[in-house]
Amino acid sequence: MTVAAATQPAARTVHIMPAAHTRQLTPVAPLKTSCSSCHLRDLCLPCGMNTPDVERLDSLMFGRRRVLAGQTLYREGDKFQFIYAVRAGTLKSSLMLADGREQVSGFHIAGELVGLDGAAQGHHASATMALEDTEICAIPYSHLTDLAANASGGMQHIITRLMSREIMREHSLMMLLGSMNAEERLAAFLVNLSQRYAARGYSEREFHLRMSRAEIGSYLGMKLETVSRTFSAFQAQRFLDVDKRHVRIIDMDGLKRRIEVQVH
């Protein structure tokens, strides 16, 4: 195995596609953030909460932080203290085999939460790193559970639902890894990404991939060459245009027909 190249990149090129907000930031003292005024509130943690609960959330005053491209948010084995909400940018989570093989377990964009995997053991089971300059909210887990204990019952349920959602996310990935071929995998990946971008107001048909072919391959359980060939095959079949990391989907229905995953 030689995914080694992807394991510890000295620095990563920064891509500039949807996100302009990553660039100009007051880089000084960690800003405090309020959920109620956040443009991501309907996608992120507060989603589904009632107003008083969101206000309680605000009272926690999450710290905001920047993670530069290639930097690590937490490593495997790190103490579990925070869960993180992505405000802008892209993160990648991965697991390691003893022999150094890496398995990417997820890519996370604005409004998504990472780090919940640490709750079982008190330390993180995966590592998470930024694929581009990324801004996150660090949510102290202990504060969140305190809140759940005191707030209206709904709050407790929110945490549970978040974790359950994570379980479902992994279900789909298992499905994909266990019973799909290369074209189905890549199609599923692109359709999923497209939908997540769309939910955030970006184009569902045209976007920049923030991850390398090797990272996509690791996530989808295939080699980078196979990813590359499958992209070319899709282009030949007129499902999409690809130019390196720039993707334009021409025939969304065609892609979707390749997968038909139910996993509701």
Partner DNA sequence: CGAGTAGTTGACATCTCTCAATGCCGGTGG
Partner DNA sequence: CCACCGGCATTGAGAGATGTCAACTACTCG
Which string of DSSP letters, residue by residue, matches 142-180?
HHHHHHHHHS-THHHHHHHHHHHHHHHHHHHHHHHHHH-
Shortest CA distance to 197 belongs to which of 69, 105, 90? 90
Min CB(123)–DNA separation in Å = 28
CA dihedral 120, 122, 127, 132 (to 10 degrees): 100
Q: Determine if 219 is a binding residue for a second copy (CB under 8 A).
A: yes
Q: Which of residues 177-216 bind a second copy (CB under 8 A)?
A: 177-179
We find the least distance from the C-beta atom of residue 13 to DNA, in angstroms, to be 5
* 238 near DNA, rule: CB under 7 A: no
Stretch that binds DNA, among 85-93, 99-107, 125-133, 224-232 (CB under 7 A): 224-232
Amino acid (one-letter) located at 171: H
240-243 sheet: strands from edge to edge: 206-208, 246-249, 240-243
Nearer to a second copy among residue 159 and residue 211 (C-beta)? 159
Q: Does 245 bind DNA (CB under 7 A)?
A: yes
Q: Identify the residue among 36, 181, 195, 203 touching DNA (CB under 7 A).
A: 181
DSSP 119: G
**Per-residue x/- mask for a second copy, residues 120 to 149, rule CB under 8 A?**
xx---xx------------------xx-xx
Kindly state whether residue 8 participates in binding a second copy, applying the rule CB under 8 A.
no
